[in-house]
Structure 1
Amino acid sequence: MSAPAGRARRVLAAATAAVVGTLAVGMAVAAPSSAAAEPTLGQLAAAKGRYFGSATDNPTLTNAPYTAVLGSEFNQITVGNTQKWMYTEPSRGQFDYTQADRIVAFAQAHDQIVRGHTLVWHNQLPDWINSVPAGELLGVMRNHIANVAGHYKGEVVHWDVVNEAFEEDGTRRQSVFQQKIGDGYIAEAFKAARAADPNAKLYYNDYNIEGIGAKSDAVYNLVKSFKQRGIPIDGVGLQAHLILGQVPGSLQQNIKRFADLGVDVAITELDIRMRTPRDAAKDAQQAADYRAVTNACLAVTRCVGITVWDFSDGYSWIPSVFPGEGAALIYDENFAKKPSYWAVYEALGGTTTTTTTTTTTGNNGSGCTATYRAVGQWPGGYQGEITVRNNGTTALSGWTVKWTLAQGQTVSSLWNGVVTTNGQEVTVRNANYNGTIAPNSTVTFGFVGSSTGANPTPTAACTTA
């Protein structure tokens, strides 16, 4: 059962304070190392007045390594499945909150806020819905919302009131609600949700509305109409189930135009899928994509938070729906932090070891410079980046960078270059596509490695062809 209302309100108030930044966490962020624990994504987000959360589902709550991360890394939880209609009202008028209550209780025990998902959706409905006469369905929908949102009153900060009501071309999805109630069902759902829980923020949530286009235009016009008509709506959820290398260029602009209507925006179901298996180049692109999404949210004040649709690749929905694709999240199957994690970490203001050293040699005027930067560092591993600059007056036609690994360091994968190792000596030559560097221009390559003990920054030497 749900926690007592008084306790729920206290937990909710404390967690909400974290989201608006009143908890003094993450203000002085230590560089990640084995000696000092780095701040979590939730703490970093809270310091910026936002949340960074994860969806979860009931079967995973029995996995101790999973729940150790879920309960400590994030300051927000979304109930991934068990607040949906098929679970909460499996038979008409008979409500069951057992499974969803367990997730809400987990969040409360870890001082995490909860997003409710979802009250009205065309999918994951019990079979009996389809046999409800058209003249009764509006009353059934109102009753469902009153019961579910009422049950979680004071325990849920956001509700995804209506989910995925539009097609890609911006027309209405012909769901059972659209067919039997008509265009007005969305407004009626929001009014019922407001009556059931006046303090929860009410969201419309959908996929493929991250960039500006026909579908997001339809949602924009719906929200604009609701605001003009006094229909209660507080936010828009951009699901952000994205594809590697395809973050919409208009993402920030789109977030801002919704915010300018007077509503909040949340990234509600973020994952960025790739063709599997993973490799270093795909990891690097995914990291850049996660950084871009995070930066777009941070750039707009009313973008209140980001939720990944579960956090570990081992629990992602992607492989079961998109065969041959996956690796979409910020932790791998073994709960190791991926480069995408560290990209989000840095975008949220986390600091990593960034000491740089350079050595210049070569036969092209001033030669080339190799600048080393530790992008991310964690117990047992690190991510590095080297920028090669042409300091000469004519174009380079090739370059080589060398450095010596400290005892215990290895390079396990590298992108944008060709690597060879000889003991502790690392040599990276240009790839076939980035050997030419114009005067005063740069190219960059990156790598991931492992380390034991200290992880010192090396001196990298650059030579020209």
Structure 2
Amino acid sequence: MKFLFTLAGLAGLIQLVDNGAHCILVAPDAPSQTLAEAAPFPIGFAVSPASIKSNAPYRQTVIQEATSITADVAMKPSRISPQKGIYNVDVADQLIEFARSQKKRVHGHTLVWYIDTSPNWLKQIRDSTDLESTLQTYIQTVGTHFKGKVASWDVVNEAVDNNRGAIRKDSLNTVGKTLFNVGKILGDDYVARMFQYAHKADPNARLFYNDYGQETRPAKLSAIVNMANDFKRRGIPIHGLGLQMHISIDTPNEGIENAIRKSAETGLLIHISELDIAMNPGKKKDFAETPELLEKQYQKYKFVVSTYKKIVPASQQFGITLWGVDDGTSWIPGFCQCLDAALPFDANFGKKRAYQGFLDGLK
């Protein structure tokens, strides 16, 4: 006789088999391949150079599972240039050296971003001529420094308004923090010029526009697709679109599929650039991982990966990057001020049910 028990701690099935003389406890088969081995396209993690250096399981997971890495914050303007005219690239260089030693691709993130992590000295510029010149110099300096070391860049990050489908021109964000109001100062077409500056700095780098929410905001998706097609018509050097894909177990599959399909129809490279799948979108105080939630997360990872593989032509598959390595270092609990576990690895770097979902999506 055979009994099946679901154990929440293992998020899977364990079989108790009666062979006539003894009862044998049989664990489910461990995944036979890593993500890097199983995928026909690059698999990436957003990583912290400090964690790479100090956390051995973190480092080993990146080495085994990834073929591409993105710096989570180390290559953002606030870290590269905390003061005007000062460029601090030491930490980013260390990450690139690690990537080189492990034969990993490096995706640069990001050259221009509206949010409050842009350096204060840059946010204080109000004159359009001064700001244009400053950004051009910054992109030229940074792009040239990393030329030949970085395969690609998110040139501009999150420039399109969430609801109106227009270039952001906000002065404050939703919690009242001052933003880098680049769209208002430089006008709607500043994104195109940033791509031109980046291409001049490194003609061989693949250049991406990166944003979030395309799967749930139709106006935003249309605006991004229209902008990309307009850039192609005008000869602006854009090579790809990044869909961040910070989603949850409740995000409609139809929206995910539509975002991937419409983006791929541009003919550009498509990068799922910051994937994580929250299990606690309601920010419940009593959140706990349950077999039901883990199964929903498994299904959503499987759907995202399989849809990307099915819809995006192989020649346009730039890869899928997870935004973080493990639940213990994920950005989500700090951002939402709630408990969550959005990644395929738990805080002890154990492979969750979501990991198998990723693998099954590749099949």
Q: TM-score, normalised by structure 2?
A: 0.83
1:268 aligns with 2:259: no
Write the deviation string for residues 268-306 of structure 1: whole angstroms up to 9, x where unpaired.
Answer: 000011223211100000000000000111012123210
Secondary structure of 2:320 counterpart:
strand
The residue aligned with 1:70 is 62
The residue aligned with 2:307 is 296
The residue aligned with 1:99 is 91
CA contact (8 A) 2:111 2:139 kept: yes
Give the drift of 1:341: 0.1
Deviates more, 1:188-197 or 1:319-328: 319-328
The residue aligned with 2:198 is 193
Listed as ranges, the matches of 1:227-376 within 5 Å are 227-275=232-280, 276-299=287-310, 300-301=312-313, 302-349=316-363
Write the deviation string for residues 6-64 of structure 1: whole angstroms up to 9, x where unpaired.
Answer: xxxxxxxxxxxxxxxxxxxxxxxxxx967xx832101211xx2x111111012312111
Distance 1:265 1:329 in 2: 21
Q: TM-score, normalised by structure 1?
A: 0.65
Give the drift of 1:211: 5.0
Listed as ranges, the matches of 1:386-401 within 5 Å are none
1:160 aligns with 2:151: no
Ranked by relative contact order (alpha carbons within 8 Å, sequence separation 6 or more), the top structure is 2
CA contact (8 A) 1:71 1:107 kept: no
Secondary structure of 2:203 counterpart:
coil
Query: In structure 2, which of residues 119, 131, 149 is the aligned counterpart of residue 126 of structure 1?
Result: 119
The residue aligned with 2:32 is 38
CA contact (8 A) 2:68 2:105 kept: yes
Amino acid at match of 1:272: I
Deviates more, 1:146-155 or 1:170-179: 170-179
Distance 2:271 2:250 in 1: 21
Give the drift of 1:152: 1.0
Give the drift of 1:228: 1.0
Distance 1:130 1:155 in 2: 28
CA contact (8 A) 1:118 1:161 kept: yes
Distance 2:327 2:252 in 1: 19
Distance 2:161 2:186 in 1: 18
Secondary structure of 2:83 counterpart:
coil
Give the drift of 1:163: 0.2
Amino acid at match of 2:307: A
The residue aligned with 1:143 is 137
Percent of paired sites with the same residue = 35
Root-mean-square deviation (CA, aligned residues, Å) is: 1.6
Listed as ranges, the matches of 1:441-452 within 5 Å are none
Give the drift of 1:148: 1.1
CA contact (8 A) 2:58 2:325 kept: no
Secondary structure of 2:228 counterpart:
helix
Q: Flag the 1:290–1:67 CA change in 2: closer, same or farther, 3 A.
A: same
The structure number with the bigger radius of gyration is 1
Secondary structure of 2:112 counterpart:
strand
CA contact (8 A) 1:41 1:345 kept: yes
Amino acid at match of 1:158: S
The residue aligned with 1:446 is none
Write the deviation string for residues 397-450 of structure 1: whole angstroms up to 9, x where unpaired.
Answer: xxxxxxxxxxxxxxxxxxxxxxxxxxxxxxxxxxxxxxxxxxxxxxxxxxxxxx
The residue aligned with 2:103 is 111
Q: Flag the 1:121–1:257 CA change in 2: closer, same or farther, 3 A.
A: same
Q: Structure 1 or 2: larger strand share?
A: 1
Give the drift of 1:319: 0.6
Query: In structure 1, which of residues 174, 178, 197 is the aligned counterpart of residue 183 of structure 2?
Result: 178
Q: Which runs of 5+ in 1 are unaligned?
A: 1-31, 350-465
